Amino acid sequence: MYNFPPTSGFPFASKNCIRGEGVKIAMIVLPYLTDKVANRFWSKVQIAPPNECWEWMAGLKDNRVFRNRYGAFRVNSHINIRSHQVAYIFANQCDIPDGMVVCHTCDNPKCCNPSHLWLGTNTDNMRDAALKSRLKIPNNSGEKHGMSMLLEDDVRKIKFAPQYWGIGRDLALRFGVSPQTVAMIRSGKRWSHVI
Ligand SMILES: [Zn+2]
């Protein structure tokens, strides 16, 4: 449907990247995104109309770190990166500043449509997740507690998600709670009544 990589610019980039002097970059990726690498990348993305999700089609099953959530892509043999981050960097021609994360407006971790990606801080991302999907239900235990942003079903997902390095952070981002809350849920110190 579209030609990738495009010869000039990217039609659906979110255009909110931060450039310039003094911007610290955690991982330099852009210089390695040559035409060849970009072609390899976009050949693994299910390109759809501009307003739909463009799902990553490869690199999920055999990747333990991002287990079935985010796509994984390797650039230049030494950079392992999430596919939506590559889509963002390529589309905006801009690396991700230190301390920033690429968030989805669509909440679909596999989506690589640059128009569904925006750059925010971890706090932005957690607030966004909280606003989008959490309910507050008054009562006094678990999800009925007035302060709770989690539903019992979420707690079950947090508690029984398979262990891997970084899962605490991933779950915290996904459910809009702190990594400490995730740790307490997984160790049974909180929400122990949910089984
Ligand atoms: Zn999407």
- pLDDT tens per residue across span 66-87: 455 778 888 888 888 899 999 9
Q: From the CA of 62, how far away is ligand 1's center (Å)?
A: 23
pLDDT of residue 145: 46
Q: From the CA of 60, how far away is ligand 1's center (Å)?
A: 17
Please state the φ and ψ torsions of residue 21, each to the nearest 5 degrees.
Answer: -70, 145
The rounded mean pLDDT for the chain is: 77
Cα separations in angstroms, 41 against 3, 50, 85, 145: 13, 18, 11, 45
Average pLDDT estimate for 115-120 = 87
Q: From the CA of 50, how far away is ligand 1's center (Å)?
A: 10
Q: From the CA of 190, how far away is ligand 1's center (Å)?
A: 33
Q: From the CA of 144, how far away is ligand 1's center (Å)?
A: 32
Q: From the CA of 51, how far away is ligand 1's center (Å)?
A: 8
Q: Look at residue 1 and tell me whether its pLDDT is greater than 50.
A: no
**Which residue stretches of 99-142 are H helix?**
122-133
pLDDT of residue 178: 82
Question: CA 108, CA 96: separation in Å to the nearest integer?
Answer: 19
Rg (CA), the chain: 18
Over the stretch 22-77, which tens digit does the pLDDT of each residue have? 778 878 898 898 888 988 999 999 988 888 999 998 866 444 544 557 788 888 88
pTM to 2 decimal places: 0.60
